């Protein structure tokens, strides 16, 4: 099953941990060999690196891991193709620029009913690839388009929560969505892989969360590091715990918004 990861940080940091772990999640430990991608958000733009192949053998992934850009917000995805062939157009995260701001989206799950419901729609016409995940992104952006220039972050979080409420009955729908340097997430259920690569039945939690304390200046595990230049908070989101630290499984149906390393909004479907 696809793996998701995100980080929200109080100050810009160079995060090597996610890249090192995702290289192994992308083919050496699990059967996710169909693509990988990572976004390093900036205030209005974002670096995006992705390939339709295993991250564990990617020279580009190794380059990014050794020289990650400074960023307050990171979104990463490792793909196991279920809808759409392995191709760049079908590789997460998906990205669009609207009104001078970059939007990034990654999803884990299966939303076959969404493709039926929106077949032939304007949202389907905006898709570059074939995935239900990209279509879900286009549906979300079309709902944001209804907001006017005076819309608040609370208005946007409400739209996001309503969108997750709409797609959740259609199948597993774990979502990472970055709007500028604000991170929105939805935790649902997911299929977990057995040691031999087969998928088990869907179960919660779909996402896990880990908080890095402000005073912890160097966080380091084997092959991974997050080095701070000043005191600041970081929150990590992942499909599965990536180390032996204090990861909290998120309740099924939880929506959250983070900015600069802190939770700022929470909802439950």
The catalytic residues are 2
Angle at CA 257, nearest 5°, toward 255 and 263?
Answer: 110
DSSP string across 18-77? HHHHHHIIIIISSS--SEEEEEEE-SS-EEEEEESS-GGG-HHHHHHHHSPPPEEEEEEE
Query: Does residue 38 contact residue 74 with C-beta atoms inside 8 Å?
Result: yes
Angle at CA 24, nearest 5°, toward 19 and 29?
Answer: 155
Phi, psi of 202 (to 5 degrees): -65, 140
CA dihedral of 143, 144, 146, 147, whole degrees rounded to 10: 150
């Amino acid at each position: 099953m696809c793996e998701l990861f995100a980080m929200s940080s109080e100050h810009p940091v160079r995060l090597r941990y996610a890249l090192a772990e995702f290289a192994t999640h992308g083919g050496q430990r699990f059967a996710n060999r169909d693509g990988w991608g990572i976004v390093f958000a900036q205030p209005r733009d974002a670096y995006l690196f992705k390939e339709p192949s295993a991250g564990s053998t990617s020279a580009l992934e190794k380059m990014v891991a050794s020289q990650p850009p400074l960023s307050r917000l990171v979104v990463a995805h490792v793909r196991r193709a279920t809808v759409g062939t392995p191709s760049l157009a079908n590789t997460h995260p998906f990205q669009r620029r609207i009104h001078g701001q970059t939007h990034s989206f990654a999803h884990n799950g299966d939303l076959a009913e969404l493709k039926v419901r929106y077949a032939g729609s304007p949202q389907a016409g905006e898709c570059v690839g074939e995935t239900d995940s990209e279509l879900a992104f286009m549906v979300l952006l079309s709902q944001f388009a209804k907001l006017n220039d005076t819309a608040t972050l609370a208005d946007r979080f409400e739209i996001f929560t309503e969108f997750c409420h709409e797609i959740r009955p259609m199948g597993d729908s774990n979502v990472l969505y970055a709007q500028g340097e604000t991170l929105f997430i939805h935790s649902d259920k997911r299929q977990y892989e057995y040691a031999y690569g087969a998928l088990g039945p869907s179960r919660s939690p779909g996402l896990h969360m880990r908080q890095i304390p402000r005073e912890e200046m160097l966080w380091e595990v084997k092959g991974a590091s997050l080095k701070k230049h000043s005191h600041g908070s970081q929150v990590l989101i992942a499909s599965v715990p990536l180390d032996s630290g204090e990861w909290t499984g998120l309740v099924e149906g939880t929506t959250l918004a983070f900015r600069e390393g802190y939770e700022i909004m929470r909802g439950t479907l």
